[in-house]
């Protein structure tokens, strides 16, 4: 298969609202199937992508995001109605760029065939571990970080030598159409392609016999995707979410913690899978913690409706869902604090939702039963570290956990006695940005990991290969069995 560069393609096809990139009438489902078959054929013709072609694909993707940074910012801002350009640069473009540079820098090492220790009884034979592309990878990405969560997995899949087909969210139509057009201009459709459409396209996408399917989104949809993929025995990575707790130890500096929690909670207006979902604070300190948070949030966002630094909720439906969570808490008699420094009115027209603290809410409220995914933060009091750990462990395992404090013994107890996808100590979110560490969930918050070499390995078949030697004595274990076998068996029992 000849690789097409952007220069060789010369002409960028026009973008049209139907999602088609040319004038030929083609239904979205037909296009999906055509692209999948093209990639499958290309993979069968070139099952092990050479190093230089992988580098070319990563380089073209890097050029794409650097050349069109302003276009991505504008499209995402328009889809959200208002999202801070700085947040798109920080949480999307910078993360994707860092992933690309990291993969490019380490790719040759990742691709090496590795020597593996050989058991004494098989010497002088040797073991090797050989990474190979899986084939055609499907990526279903969400709306909250549309660029990062589309291209992040794609980087790992391309580095591993795969063909990639992406289905971005229909809830960010401007971004999704832009991504489709730009990918088409830089990649042959049998290298990497984007297919757009509604839920029917997403459902059909998850039913295709990919060699690996990668999904980022809600736990509820993750179940559906996993069930659809199971029909083909397609391996699936599920990056989900859940209720990520923050434990404030009695040794913590609450004022300092509040500033960092405010940043982690209000980035993208809380529409982040690893955002702090609720706080556990020592008994008698909820009001104090709330005061620190109000000050920190007000300093970061002195106004909201007209403030470009403060992002809007992505859709009207999600805004109304958040409103209903707060209304239910108010009706139940919970103490609710709306952080509104400029005394603005929020009726949903700007889709800005004010940061809202809910103190000691009843555990049967929806905001304590489902992932909040917005700027609402419950604060609950616990009598002891034992109770905090028990509270976390009685619930589904979260994608992230945050601990604030200075007491080493308490910190180590939390690390050893709770299970979560990842942890940041005395801050929020930053474990997600570590390219040398795996990122992923556990249990209801997902399974499988990516980022850096971990992503390369997720999208590779690490094939074990054994090279026996004519000098080994394994042939003596062949039938017909007799005294020689018994002697060798006795020796092997002692050395294995």
Total-model pTM: 0.92
pLDDT digit string, tens, across residues 258-269: 999 999 999 999
Q: Are residue 33 and residue 161 in the same domain, yes or no? A: yes
Active site residue 273: yes
Q: Where are any strands of DSSP class E within 37-185?
A: 114-116, 126-133, 136-140, 163-167
Residues 378, 381, 385, 391: is their CA dihedral positive or negative?
negative
Q: Are residue 341 and residue 403 in the same domain, yes or no? A: yes
Residue 471 lies in a domain: no
Q: Are residue 208 and residue 294 in the same domain, yes or no? A: no
Identified catalytic residue from 92, 177, 180, 239 = 239
Contact 173, 79 (CB under 8 A): yes
How many structural domains comprise the chain? 2
Give the pLDDT band (50/70/90) at residue 1. very low
Q: Are residue 201 and residue 78 in the same domain, yes or no? A: yes
Q: Which of 458, 390, 406 lies closest to 131, judged by CA?
A: 458
Q: Is the pLDDT of residue 16 over 70?
A: no
pLDDT digit string, tens, across residues 394-410: 999 999 999 999 999 99
- State the pLDDT at residue 6: 36
Residue 489 lies in a domain: no
Q: Are residue 249 and residue 228 in the same domain, yes or no? A: no
Q: Where are any strands of DSSP class E within 256-388?
A: 278-282, 335-338, 356-359, 376-382
Q: What's the domain range around 113?
A: 6-240+450-460
Residue 490 lies in a domain: no
Q: Are residue 292 and residue 182 in the same domain, yes or no? A: no
Q: Are residue 136 and residue 193 in the same domain, yes or no? A: yes
Q: Are residue 140 and residue 55 in the same domain, yes or no? A: yes
- State the pLDDT at residue 22: 52
**CA R_g for the chain:** 26
pLDDT digit string, tens, across residues 374-401: 999 999 999 999 999 999 999 999 999 9
Q: Which CATH number belongs to the domain containing residue 269 in this structure?
A: 3.40.309.10
Q: Are residue 232 and residue 250 in the same domain, yes or no? A: no
Residue 477 lies in a domain: no
Q: Which CATH number belongs to the domain containing residue 46 in this structure?
A: 3.40.605.10
Cα(173)–Cα(196) distance, integer angstroms: 9
Identified catalytic residue from 273, 371, 435, 453 = 273
pLDDT digit string, tens, across residues 59-90: 999 999 999 999 999 999 999 999 999 999 99
- State the pLDDT at residue 5: 37
Residue 485 lies in a domain: no
Q: Are residue 132 and residue 20 in the same domain, yes or no? A: yes
Residue 479 lies in a domain: no
Contact 193, 35 (CB under 8 A): yes
Cα(33)–Cα(205) distance, integer angstroms: 9
Q: Are residue 226 and residue 282 in the same domain, yes or no? A: no
Task: Give me the phi and psi of 247, to 5 degrees please.
Answer: -105, 120
Task: Please report, rounded to a whole number, the percentage of residues in the chain having pLDDT higher than 70.
Answer: 95
Residue 108 lies in a domain: yes
Residue 475 lies in a domain: no
Q: Are residue 373 and residue 431 in the same domain, yes or no? A: yes
């Amino acid at each position: 298969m000849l690789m097409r560069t952007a220069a060789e393609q010369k002409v960028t096809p026009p973008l049209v609202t139907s999602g088609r990139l040319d004038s030929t009438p083609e239904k979205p489902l037909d296009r999906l199937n055509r692209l999948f078959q093209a990639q499958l054929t290309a993979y069968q013709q070139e099952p092990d992508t050479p190093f230089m072609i992988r580098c070319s694909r990563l380089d073209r993707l890097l050029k794409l995001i650097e050349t069109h940074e302003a276009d991505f910012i504008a499209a995402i801002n328009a889809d959200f109605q208002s999202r801070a350009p700085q947040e798109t640069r920080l949480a999307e473009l910078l993360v994707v760029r860092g992933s690309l540079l990291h993969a490019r820098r380490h790719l040759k090492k990742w691709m090496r065939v590795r020597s593996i220790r050989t058991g004494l009884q098989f010497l002088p034979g040797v073991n090797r571990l050989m990474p190979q592309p899986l084939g055609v990878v499907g990526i279903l990405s969400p709306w909250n970080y549309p660029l990062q969560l589309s291209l992040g997995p794609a980087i790992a899949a391309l580095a591993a030598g795969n063909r990639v087909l992406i289905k971005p969210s229909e809830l960010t139509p401007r971004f999704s159409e832009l991504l489709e057009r730009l990918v088409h201009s830089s990649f042959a459709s049998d290298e990497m392609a984007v297919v757009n459409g509604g839920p029917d396209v997403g459902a059909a996408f998850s039913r295709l016999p990919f060699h690996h399917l990668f999904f980022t989104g809600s736990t509820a949809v993750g179940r559906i995707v996993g069930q659809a993929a199971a029909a083909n025995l397609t391996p699936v990575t599920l990056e989900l979410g859940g209720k990520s707790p923050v434990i404030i130890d009695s040794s913590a500096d609450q004022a300092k913690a509040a500033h960092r929690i405010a940043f982690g909670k209000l980035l993208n207006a809380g529409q982040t899978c690893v955002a702090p979902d609720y706080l556990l604070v020592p008994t008698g300190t909820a009001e104090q913690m709330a005061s620190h948070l109000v000050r920190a949030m007000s300093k970061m966002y002195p106004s909201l409706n007209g403030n470009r630094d403060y992002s809007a909720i992505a859709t009207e439906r999600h805004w109304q869902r958040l409103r209903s969570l707060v209304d239910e808490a108010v009706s139940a008699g919970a103490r609710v604090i709306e952080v509104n420094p400029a005394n603005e009115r929020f009726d949903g027209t700007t889709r800005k939702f004010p940061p809202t603290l809910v103190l000691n809410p009843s555990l049967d409220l929806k905001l304590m039963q489902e992932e909040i995914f917005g700027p609402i933060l419950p604060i609950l009091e616990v009598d002891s570290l034992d109770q905090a750990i028990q509270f976390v462990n009685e619930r589904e395992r979260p994608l992230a956990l945050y601990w604030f404090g200075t007491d080493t013994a308490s910190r180590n107890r939390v690390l050893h006695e709770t299970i979560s996808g990842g942890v940041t100590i005395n801050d929020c979110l930053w474990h997600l940005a570590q390219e040398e560490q795996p990122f992923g969930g556990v249990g209801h918050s997902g399974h499988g990991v990516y980022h850096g070499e971990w992503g390369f390995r997720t999208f590779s078949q690490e094939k074990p290969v054994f090279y026996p030697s004519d000098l080994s004595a394994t042939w003596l274990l062949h039938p017909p069995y007799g005294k020689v076998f018994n002697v060798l068996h006795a020796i092997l029992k002692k050395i294995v």
